[in-house]
Structure 1
Amino acid sequence: MADAATLLPVPGAGLPQEDPWAQVLGDLEMTAVFCSTGRFSEPWGLALPPLPGTTMFHLLLDGRAVVDVEGEHHDLAPGDLVLVPHGTGHRITGAAGDPATGLWDVDRTVVADRYEQLRIAGGGRPATLVCGAVGFTDPGVGRLLASLPPVLRAPGPGASGADPDRAWLRALVTAIDHEVRRPRPGTDVVTARLADVLLVHVVRGWLEAEEPASGWIAALRDPALGPVLRAVHAAPADPWTVESLAAVARLSRSAFAERFTGTVGEPPMAYVAGCRLDAAARLLREGDASVEAVSRRVGYDSVPGFHRAFVRRHGTTPGAWRASGGAPTLADALGR
């Protein structure tokens, strides 16, 4: 997950202040860990394992389905999309009580490296699904994902209500349905890209509708803490101190530290350190500067110190991160 530094609008950077989510959503650059289409008939079910560091989704194209995440049950109608932001293990079945087969034990056809077609033939009512797991190329997206609830659900374009989004959402689901039913060269890429748009739509809807009391989103909206986040993300390498951050917030040192820690969930300087290391991850992925140069650019005087801190935060060395492009794989998600 990527640096929050790129997730926040910076004053004067050309982003309209009335739309604080434009860059947040724009930086949800996804990479498929896996994507699949499923043709099932009842009784059917999938048991998905936990995939840490990923966001999983299910789009029901036709039929019916029930998603069970941490004891929460969600009945899906055609066009409905369910998002599991934290990679939590869960089940999706044709009907409540249907048996669930482990994801890796389902009959499948491998179409491409990260794209498969799944089949379960129970002989009853049919259903068609697009399912998948995605990672994010920017590590700081984790701050946004951590603020989301265990499950996000977007009603399909056929749901009741005068939502102006229905027309384009219907067109998007229709396009995915077309690709699934008439696979051609590149169907895996097109389906994944269309699913990306749907996922951003779900997150945007939640951002517009919810006002969490704590977490990164709450801090971004806070009139005192929001400017602090913007300042740190704009210049993570600056020699920030609790005092200088408190000055940006226009609060006393103690009041700022208490408010920041209580809202964000970590002390101010720990947050700054995380932003620096996330910025380093982005620089390593996108550029060809040496590890030493990157360490200096994000405010580290010692390369060994930077190396140790990077491993603690990202679980791998700076060199290995650069070699992999920072993109998660299915083996990463499974801890293999």
Structure 2
Amino acid sequence: MSDVATVLPVPGAGRPQEDPWAEVLGGLEMDAVFCSTGRFSEPWGIEMPALPGVLMFHLLLDGRAVVEVEGGRHDLGPGDLVLVPHGAGHRITGAGDDPATGLWDVDRTVVADRYERLRIDGGGRPATLVCGAVGFTDPGVGRLLASLPAVLRAPDAVESDEDGGAGPDGGWLRAVVAAIDHEVRHPRPGTDVVTARLADVLLVHVVRRWLEAEEPASGWIAALRDPALGPVLRAVHAEPRRPWTLASLAAVARLSRSAFAERFACTVGEPPMTYVAGDDAARLLREPDASVERVARQVGYDSVPGFHRAFVRRHGVTPGAWRAAGPARTLAEVLER
């Protein structure tokens, strides 16, 4: 994925500002934990375990399916894509009342370390799915995922506009879905890599559409859109090891220290230096032999519970889960932890 950012003018400011979503979406380069293709026939169902800090997705290529997450039901048709950004446990079935089998009890063929083919043959209506669980190493992505709803659904991957033609993104999205479908039906050397990369494109599209549609008044997304605070967030993210101070952050925002501190706290929900400490914590937790207690002390917390609450609020996962997910590269490793 390109790291090049589009430069746009900021209304009322005398300097250009990077596209606020370029770096966020660029940070969504995914470290694939697990990807599978499934051929099922009704009745069928899979009980997905909770995977804190991991985004899970399901792309239905043909047939029908129902995804149930945190009490909500989402009916899928061909081309529909559902994301479970917070890694919540959930069920996916051919019909809502179909029995669900635990993931590890499903008949499977291991193709590679990160790629499997699943089968459930109930003898009825068939369905084909691409499913995956992906992790991220960038702590900034944790903040984005924590800002997302429990479920993101993209029924527009094959959507038509009012005139019956392709919607604004419909043409190339249809091509991506068709390419995934072809890879699944006609596996070749490298199919697992190609399928994962194409799924990557679809996931970034879904998140981009949500970012374009949402306009929260406060929180991390609102701060990223802010012409003064956005450059600060990007600077902290780009140079996490720099010894940031309130004065240096205010200089990036081009505000006085008091005005900057008040604006940051009101928008983000925490003081600027607490925010900086949170980025330090995410980096330190990934170092060898790190402990949650030691990192909490290093970034200035007097108690582990206080550090725990602040870390979850920031990154969407517990400090322990963030640390444990670092070197894991397969779904089995994630579940074992």
Fold shared by both chains (TM-score > 0.5): yes
User: What displacement does 1:181 show?
Assistant: 0.7
User: What displacement does 1:242 show?
Assistant: 3.3
Q: 1:93 to 1:326 in 2, by over 3 A?
A: same
Deviates more, 1:212-221 or 1:325-334: 325-334
Q: Distance in 1 between matches of 2:142 and 2:6?
A: 17
CA contact (8 A) 1:86 1:150 kept: yes
CA contact (8 A) 2:160 2:170 kept: no
1:145 alignment counterpart:
145
Q: 1:221 to 1:64 in 2, by over 3 A?
A: same
Deviates more, 1:233-242 or 1:19-28: 233-242
More relative contact order, 1 or 2 (CA 8 Å, 6+ apart): 1
CA contact (8 A) 2:27 2:140 kept: no
Asked if 1:134 is matched to 2:134, the reply is yes
1:208 alignment counterpart:
212
Instruction: From 229, 234, 243, give the equivalent of 2:233.
Output: 229
User: What displacement does 1:78 show?
Assistant: 0.3
| Matching of residues 97-246 of structure 1 within 5 Å | 97-161=97-161, 163-246=167-250
Q: 1:255 to 1:329 in 2, by over 3 A?
A: farther
SS of the residue corresponding to residue 97 of structure 1 reads coil
Q: Distance in 2 between matches of 1:138 and 1:229?
A: 14
Q: Distance in 2 between matches of 1:116 and 1:129?
A: 12
CA contact (8 A) 1:67 1:92 kept: yes
2:314 alignment counterpart:
none
Instruction: Number of aligned residue pairs: give it.
Output: 304
Letter in 2 for 1:271: Y
CA-to-aligned-CA distance 1:185-221 (integer Å, 9 cap, x gap): 2111111111111111111111111112333211111
Q: Distance in 1 between matches of 2:34 and 2:242?
A: 38
SS of the residue corresponding to residue 176 of structure 2 reads helix
SS of the residue corresponding to residue 28 of structure 1 reads coil
SS of the residue corresponding to residue 52 of structure 1 reads coil
Q: Distance in 2 between matches of 1:23 and 1:78?
A: 31
Q: 1:306 to 1:180 in 2, by over 3 A?
A: same
CA contact (8 A) 2:7 2:18 kept: no
SS of the residue corresponding to residue 118 of structure 1 reads strand
Q: Distance in 1 between matches of 2:295 and 2:48?
A: 37
Q: Distance in 2 between matches of 1:27 and 1:231?
A: 14
SS of the residue corresponding to residue 21 of structure 1 reads helix
User: What displacement does 1:29 show?
Assistant: 1.3
RMSD between superposed Cα atoms in Å:
3.4
Q: 1:264 to 1:7 in 2, by over 3 A?
A: farther
1:260 alignment counterpart:
264
Asked if 1:89 is matched to 2:51, the reply is no
Letter in 2 for 1:264: V
User: What displacement does 1:156 show?
Assistant: 4.1
Q: 1:251 to 1:307 in 2, by over 3 A?
A: closer
Letter in 2 for 1:58: H
TM-score, scaled relative to structure 1? 0.78
SS of the residue corresponding to residue 140 of structure 1 reads helix
- The unaligned stretches of length 5 or more in structure 1 are 1-5, 285-290, 292-304
Q: 1:250 to 1:19 in 2, by over 3 A?
A: closer
CA contact (8 A) 2:113 2:330 kept: no
Letter in 1 for 2:278: G
Q: 1:225 to 1:19 in 2, by over 3 A?
A: closer
Q: Distance in 2 between matches of 1:178 and 1:270?
A: 48
User: What displacement does 1:236 show?
Assistant: 3.7
| Matching of residues 40-59 of structure 1 within 5 Å | 40-59=40-59
Q: Percent identity?
A: 77
CA contact (8 A) 2:47 2:100 kept: yes
Asked if 1:330 is matched to 2:331, the reply is yes
SS of the residue corresponding to residue 60 of structure 1 reads strand
Q: Distance in 2 between matches of 1:70 and 1:147?
A: 17
Q: 1:184 to 1:216 in 2, by over 3 A?
A: same
TM-score, scaled relative to structure 2? 0.78
- The unaligned stretches of length 5 or more in structure 2 are 9-15, 289-293, 312-318
Q: Distance in 2 between matches of 1:189 and 1:248?
A: 40
Deviates more, 1:80-89 or 1:241-250: 241-250
